Structure 1
Amino acid sequence: MFDPAEDARQIDEAVAAIRAQTDLVPDLALVLGSGLGALADEVEDAVIIPTGEVPHYPASTVEGHAGRLVLGTLEGRPVLVVQGRVHLYEGHEPRAVTFPVRLAHALGAKGLFLTNAAGGMNPSFVPGTLMLITDHINLAFTSALSGKMASGEHRFPDMSNPYDAEWRKQAGNIALTHGVPYREGVYVWTAGPSYETPAEIRFFQRAGADAVGMSTVPEAIQAAALGMPVLGLSTITNLAAGLQGRPLNHAEVMEVGQMVRERLSTWVRAIVAETGPGR
């Protein structure tokens, strides 16, 4: 059972371990999804901390998720990069999955920029499409906010604007300026780790979803409870089950992530430089 006092103690100990290595106060926190971890290599004056050295930090076990925190500057802006998120399907409790968000908030981050790899369900979203998330559907049927409240949380956070509309507009304008094609759409979260069945994909499509994945939503809900604006960005790495005529595999996710790396990096760097809280 979640104990708010114990959680506060664990967050304090994690903050102290990081502060022993750097006093940088991040303006933004960026969480990097499958195949996107190389963006962390672009952070300047970086202090790299393996998450295994941060007390109480949950372990990431997924290929393509390095399990490091990178603190430094990106486009002159102080950032915390979470290089390798954790997921419900790895056996973590919902509160453990969102531990990095509470840690980022405690370190001073004012906004949360979430990226992920996702399966495309919108027929016009080919692999390699970059999608700004406009909204989400929680089909994991769980929340990190269940039970007692952590320090600084709202009991009933408003979710009418889970992916900040103004920040999203700014990011879209940046994409147009830099010639980066993108789409907008609704992301649906499933618990995983199995990929979805063709019948499930047809159901999700009828519910209004454009992309599907196994992350991001719990972090967005946690950020909402802490009053942190969120921007969400999906890389469509494959067509969802039943839409591409062959079995799905994680290697394909990684391959497409590498294919869009330069385009994604250009967009993310410009977003960090020019948009979001305080810009």
Structure 2
Amino acid sequence: MKEYSKKIDAAVQFIKHQADFSAKAGIILGTGLGSLVDEMEVFASIPYEDIPYFPVSTVESHKGELVFGDLAGCKVVVMKGRFHYYEGYTMKEVTFPVRVMKRLGIELLCVSNAAGGLNPAHSIGDIMLIEDHIDLFPENPLRGENLDAFGLRFPDMSEPYELRLLQQASQIAQGLGIKFRKGVYAGVQGPNLETKAEYRYLRTIGADAVGMSTVPEVIVARHMELPVFAMSAITDLCVPGKVKKISIQEVLAAAAIAEPKMIAVIKGLLARF
């Protein structure tokens, strides 16, 4: 674990040398949700491949760069592209950037993702504010020797998503006339989509949406007592009678419908922060 800590230190020192910038919030952008960067006053951008020990995005729609700048009056560091367990990375590699961003000084983590809608009330292009999650990944990012400098061995997960931020986001969305829902996100390893029986199972155990990310990053953030706000863009429907084959192009098109709403909510949160 000392070796892992040294890798975090090396990445942090490299980034500080490239971008002497003190970010208050970190943002992880999910599939098809990269346009938020266009709303920023960008100070610096670093390709993942240049950062020591940083994984490299292999997903088509994830560009793969760390962007520093100002958004809604708040200094932010944005992951334009994230990492997934299904890409072959370990959970420690998937969550490595969250550790790095914490060491860079962030005090808030905002996470977005594209997800399948399990709740019959969902429509394509909806946004869902995540209230809680169900971890169905086969590996935990905290498994192994604990990083005592970052957090406790057994972090509490009774409120993984900050209630205060959820309330503020709800107020912001309502004030802007944005339709939204709240719900539970189920995290699965992928990369295949689920069977109809699996969709029924996920709904039965209490999930409103399902995706292949977010949960590992949130676990690590909470290990470091970093407040988290997260949202899902509902890109396909996973309820009986509405399940159909879907392409990545359709996912991206649906994410594009949700994206302006997600950006507006995040900007509103950051302005308050």
Q: TM-score, normalised by structure 2?
A: 0.96
> Counterparts of 2:37 and 2:192 in 1: how far apart (Å)?
28
CA offset at residue 246 of structure 1? 2.2
Q: Tell me if structure 1 keeps the 8 A contact 2:111–2:228.
A: yes
Matches within 5 A, 1:33-48: 33-48=30-45
Matches within 5 A, 1:112-151: 112-150=109-147, 151=149
Tell me the equivalent position of 1:207: 205
> Counterparts of 1:131 and 1:240 in 2: how far apart (Å)?
15
Tell me the equivalent position of 1:68: 65
1:239 and 2:240 equivalent?
Answer: no
Runs of 4+ in 1 over 3 A off after TM superposition: none
Q: Tell me if structure 2 keeps the 8 A contact 1:28–1:111.
A: yes
- Percent sequence identity is 42
Gaps of 5+ in 1: none
Tell me the equivalent position of 2:166: 168
Cα distance change, pair 243–88 in 1 and its aligned pair in 2 (3 A): farther
Matches within 5 A, 1:155-234: 155-234=153-232
Which amino acid in structure 2 is aligned with residue 26 of structure 1?
A
Which amino acid in structure 2 is aligned with residue 32 of structure 1?
L
Offset from partner CA, 1:39-63 (integer Å, 9 cap, x none):
1222213311101110000111001
> Counterparts of 1:31 and 1:243 in 2: how far apart (Å)?
33
Tell me, what secondary structure is at the counterpart of 2:18?
A: coil
Task: Point out the more displaced range, 174-183 or 116-125.
Answer: 174-183
Tell me, what secondary structure is at the counterpart of 2:75?
A: strand
Q: Tell me if structure 1 keeps the 8 A contact 2:128–2:233.
A: yes
Aligned-CA RMSD value: 1.2
Offset from partner CA, 1:177-236 (integer Å, 9 cap, x none):
111111000000100000011000000111010000000000000001011011110000
Q: Tell me if structure 2 keeps the 8 A contact 1:43–1:70.
A: no
CA offset at residue 263 of structure 1? 2.4
Tell me the equivalent position of 1:27: 24
Q: TM-score, normalised by structure 1?
A: 0.94
1:16 and 2:13 equivalent?
Answer: yes
How many residues end up aligned between the 2 structures?
A: 272
Offset from partner CA, 1:74-105 (integer Å, 9 cap, x none):
01111010110000000000100000100110
CA offset at residue 262 of structure 1? 2.3
1:5 and 2:2 equivalent?
Answer: yes
Which amino acid in structure 1 is aligned with residue 127 of structure 2?
L
> Counterparts of 2:12 and 2:226 in 1: how far apart (Å)?
18
CA offset at residue 256 of structure 1? 0.9
CA offset at residue 248 of structure 1? 2.4
> Counterparts of 1:154 and 1:167 in 2: how far apart (Å)?
23
CA offset at residue 113 of structure 1? 0.5
Which amino acid in structure 2 is aligned with residue 141 of structure 1?
P
> Counterparts of 1:6 and 1:28 in 2: how far apart (Å)?
27
CA offset at residue 243 of structure 1? 4.4
CA offset at residue 153 of structure 1? 2.1
Tell me the equivalent position of 2:152: 154
Cα distance change, pair 229–243 in 1 and its aligned pair in 2 (3 A): farther
> Counterparts of 1:265 and 1:162 in 2: how far apart (Å)?
21
Cα distance change, pair 197–54 in 1 and its aligned pair in 2 (3 A): same
